[in-house]
Structure 1
Amino acid sequence: MLELRHISQNYGDRVLLQDINLQVAAGEIVALLGPSGSGKSTLLSIVAGLQPPLKGSVWFDGQDITRVPPERRHFALMFQDFALFAHLNVLDNVAFGLVEQRLAKSDARARAARMLERFGLLDHARHKVWTLSGGEQQRVALARALITNPRALLLDEPFSALDAELRQGLREEFCRHIAAAGMATLLVTHDEAEARAMAARGVRLVDGQLRAAW
């Protein structure tokens, strides 16, 4: 279980997050809603370990990981722009996290190929990522996130650049894989319809505090 305990953060003189408490169970998707500038992405960055909170702590499975660096948390963070590596082909984008974990490159590529087959992308393995459609790039990003067997998945507006029909298909695909992998998932979005389609529980960030959305 992912837990946020009494998280607070300021942006200059402005109180951005104030005493945030949240629990996300394994296999659960919790949607975090709120307008631009409300602190959603900041909270996600704190969970990922990219910035420390002013106050409070981040816990996972009963352990305080607040001071654990991002690479040791074994979380996957997916951005709205996918953050794929343009200089690498599709196969090496997916294999990247395994290589960073010091798995032999040949073994990493073999596992990446199996993951691409699972997503129907094996035929694109040797293509540069910038030659793919938006939906294909998003599936590459998801494959790259899942291949390292992350303990939690953090999604920051992952479908905002895609058209409505493609978004619906990918939402369903994400939900299937999240449930199968049993990952605690925090979905940041300003789109309530999208949030309700994916998450059984939603919270809203208002004036620095969390309120139940449904």
Structure 2
Amino acid sequence: MLELRDIHHRWDQRPLLDGVSLRVDAGRTVALLGASGSGKSTLLKIAAGIETPERGSVWFDGADLTRTPPHRRGFALMFQDFALFPHLDVQDNVAFGLVEQGVPRREARERARALLERFGLGAHARSRVAHLSGGEQQRVALARALITQPRALLLDEPFSALDAALREQLRAEFRERIAEAGMAAILVTHDEAEARAMAQQGWALEGGRLVPRW
């Protein structure tokens, strides 16, 4: 279970997050809606450890992670631009996190290929990511996030660059994978239809506070 407790943060001398508390259970997705600049992405970065709150704390399964660096939290963060490595092929993009954790490269590649097969991307394992479609690149990004078996998945507008039909398809796929892996997930989006399609609970950030949407 991921918890954000009484998060306070200022931006340009104004309160951006004013006592935000949020709980996300394993295998469930919570959506964060709100206008541009409302603090959605900042809250996600605080959960990831990229930013530190002025007050408040981040917890996971009863442990305080507020001062724990991002690479030791066991979370995966996905941005809208996918952030794939153009100099690596698909297989090595997916294997990257395992290699960073000390898994031997051969084993990491075998595990990456197995996951790519599950995602219908086995035939592209040795392709450069630039040769893939937008939807295929997004699946590679999801596979890379999941292969390290993260405890939480943090999604920042992950489908905004894709066309409507592909967004609908990937929403269902992400929802299934999140439940299957038993992760706590936070989805930041401005699209309420997308939020309702993926999340069991939705909140809007308004004036630095969370307002329930469903």
Q: TM-score, normalised by structure 2?
A: 0.99
Aligned to 2:62: 62
The residue type paired with residue 43 of structure 2 is L
Aligned to 2:145: 145
Aligned to 1:18: 18
**Distance in 1 (alpha carbons) for counterparts of 2:174 and 2:84:** 18
SS of corresponding position for 2:43? helix
The residue type paired with residue 120 of structure 2 is G
Aligned to 2:184: 184
- Within 5 Å, which residues of 2 pair with 1:157-196? 157-196=157-196
For structure 2, list consecutive stretches of 5 or more residues without a partner in the other structure.
none
**Distance in 1 (alpha carbons) for counterparts of 2:26 and 2:81:** 26
**Distance in 1 (alpha carbons) for counterparts of 2:43 and 2:175:** 22
Aligned to 2:32: 32
**Distance in 2 (alpha carbons) for counterparts of 1:52 and 1:150:** 21
**Distance in 2 (alpha carbons) for counterparts of 1:62 and 1:80:** 30
Poorly superposed stretches of 4+, deviation over 2 Å: none
The residue type paired with residue 201 of structure 1 is Q
The residue type paired with residue 25 of structure 2 is A
Residue 98 of structure 1 pairs with residue 101 of structure 2:
no
- Within 5 Å, which residues of 2 pair with 1:43-62? 43-62=43-62
The residue type paired with residue 118 of structure 2 is R
SS of corresponding position for 1:113? helix
**Distance in 1 (alpha carbons) for counterparts of 2:176 and 2:72:** 26
Residue 133 of structure 1 pairs with residue 124 of structure 2:
no
- Post-superposition offset of 1:102: 0.7
**Distance in 2 (alpha carbons) for counterparts of 1:175 and 1:193:** 14
- Post-superposition offset of 1:200: 1.4
- Post-superposition offset of 1:8: 0.6
**Distance in 2 (alpha carbons) for counterparts of 1:40 and 1:107:** 37
**Distance in 2 (alpha carbons) for counterparts of 1:182 and 1:84:** 24
Aligned to 1:5: 5
CA-to-aligned-CA distance 1:160-187 (integer Å, 9 cap, x gap): 0000100111000001110100000000
The residue type paired with residue 65 of structure 1 is L
- Within 5 Å, which residues of 2 pair with 1:99-118? 99-118=99-118
- Post-superposition offset of 1:12: 2.2
Q: TM-score, normalised by structure 1?
A: 0.99
Aligned to 1:82: 82
Aligned to 1:200: 200
Equivalenced residue count is 214
**Distance in 2 (alpha carbons) for counterparts of 1:15 and 1:95:** 40
**Distance in 2 (alpha carbons) for counterparts of 1:122 and 1:175:** 21
CA RMSD in angstroms, aligned pairs only: 0.5
